[in-house]
Amino acid sequence: MNSASVVIVGGGVLGASVAYHLARRGWKDLLVLDRVSAPGGGSTSRSTGGFRAQYSTDINVRLSLLSRGKLRDFHHEIGADPGYQPVGYLWLADKWEEMEFLRNALRVQQAAGLEEAREVRAEGIPEINPHVSTDGLLGGAFCPTDGFIRPMQILQGYLDGAQRLGVSVEWGEEIRELEIGPGGRICRVITGRKEVACQAVVNAAGAWAAPLAAMAGVDLPVTPLKRQVAVTHPFGGLPADMPMTLFLGDGFHLRVRDGRVLLLRPDLPQSEDPYDTSVEPVWVESVVRTARARVPTLRETWMDLPSCWAGLYEMSPDRHALLGAAPECENLYLINGSSGHGVMHAPALGQLLSEIISDGRATTLDVAPLRPSRFAEGDANPLPALL
């Protein structure tokens, strides 16, 4: 294509969702460009596939509820299985201030419509996850409709759906320049192999969003942050339907996927390269010690080091997405900074951005808390306790 109505930069799950939802609204000549050689070459394939609506801010709860509805209808609408399994999220606390945080978050969640989320007393934890040591735990929170999804199945579903509606998707196209025309608007996208005239550009570049925005003179406050995943050898000691179990204090959490246990804990990476995705052996050793102390059954497991991986979150200053037109460039649309929630919120964010591009505003949800101008206005969202 030498011209397009909208060029979507980034063929991950967020870009694919935007492309599909724009095409469904009748947009023609849509083009998705990605620098990787095939679907899943970026962060989408490195997601652990958690899905939750247990957030501490109203906007994130509502994004999850919108996404959850779309995931339940995904097979009917898209013709693909998103892998949604409502096995629950169990949050655990060993300090009273953590319990108070969970209680405050529950009030936000229930006010936003997540009525099934509930507090759990310490004695009730074994009923939900009998494999966790309850030593020192005060209680927690549980939502049975949270659970798991399959990121690559969602991505492929949106890509296939978009292409059936006429969207062009091209891989191996790295953006070299966003040419600015009259009025400070982007008029052309230039890659290493082609030039594409366009009416608008969507920045769905994930952890690489800020350098892309800078090509249009936009200072985008989104930075990459490595998150590592330790993987056991095949292990049958924990059930496949065990809820995602998270310790609020240090963020350690675990789940079972495809017969293996995934262990995670957010720690500052050791590398000075912000785009480094190597796995750090010291981190693996540390998270395994934590796992065996908190889930005694895991003392019988061993790590499969070649199967461990790391991926990049796209972090915003308040850990909430930026959604809408960039204030400095009115035809550059942002869907960035989801801060680890991009896959689970992709169905909602793609629909909402398609409404903004088509109608000038989102109509399904009030997305004012996600407006890109909020940081300059001094109106950032409250930081969550966990990333």
Query: Is pLDDT at 176 greater than 90 in this prediction?
Result: yes
Query: Is pLDDT at 33 greater than 70 in this prediction?
Result: yes
Query: Is pLDDT at 1 greater than 70 in this prediction?
Result: no
CATH (domain of 7): 3.50.50.60
Is residue 326 in some structural domain?
yes
pLDDT at residue 386 in the model: 63
Query: Is pLDDT at 18 greater than 60 in this prediction?
Result: yes
- Over the chain, what HEC string results? CCEEEEEEECCCHHHHHHHHHHHHCCCCCEEEEECCCCCCCCCHHHCCCEECCCCCCHHHHHHHHHHHHHHHCHHHHHCCCCCCECCCEEEEECCHHHHHHHHHHHHHHHHCCCCCCEEEEHHHHHHHCCCCCCCCCCEEEEECCCEECCHHHHHHHHHHHHHHCCCEEEECCCEEEEEECHHHCEEEEEECCCEEEEEEEEECCHHHHHHHHHCCCCCCCCEEEEEEEEEECCCCCCCCCCCEEEECCCCCEEEEECCEEEEECCCCCCCCCCCCCCCCHHHHHHHHHHHHHHCHHHHHCCECHHHCEEEEEEECCCCCCEEEEECCEEEEEEEECCCCCHHHHHHHHHHHHHHHHHHCCCCCCCCHHHCHHHCCCCCCCCCCCCC
Domain hosting 131: range is 85-147+226-313
Write down the mean pLDDT value for the chain: 97
Which band of pLDDT confidence, cut at 50, 70 and 90, is reported for residue 345? very high
Residues 175 and 217 in one domain: yes
Residues 160 and 301 in one domain: no
CATH (domain of 143): 3.30.9.10
Per-residue pLDDT tens digits for 235-276: 999 999 999 999 999 999 999 999 999 999 999 888 899 999
Is residue 280 in some structural domain?
yes
Which band of pLDDT confidence, cut at 50, 70 and 90, is reported for residue 26? very high
Residues 260 and 297 in one domain: yes
pLDDT at residue 268 in the model: 86
Query: Is pLDDT at 385 greater than 80 in this prediction?
Result: no
Per-residue pLDDT tens digits for 91-123: 999 999 999 999 999 999 999 999 999 999 999
- Average pLDDT of 156-164? 98
Query: Is pLDDT at 387 greater than 60 in this prediction?
Result: no
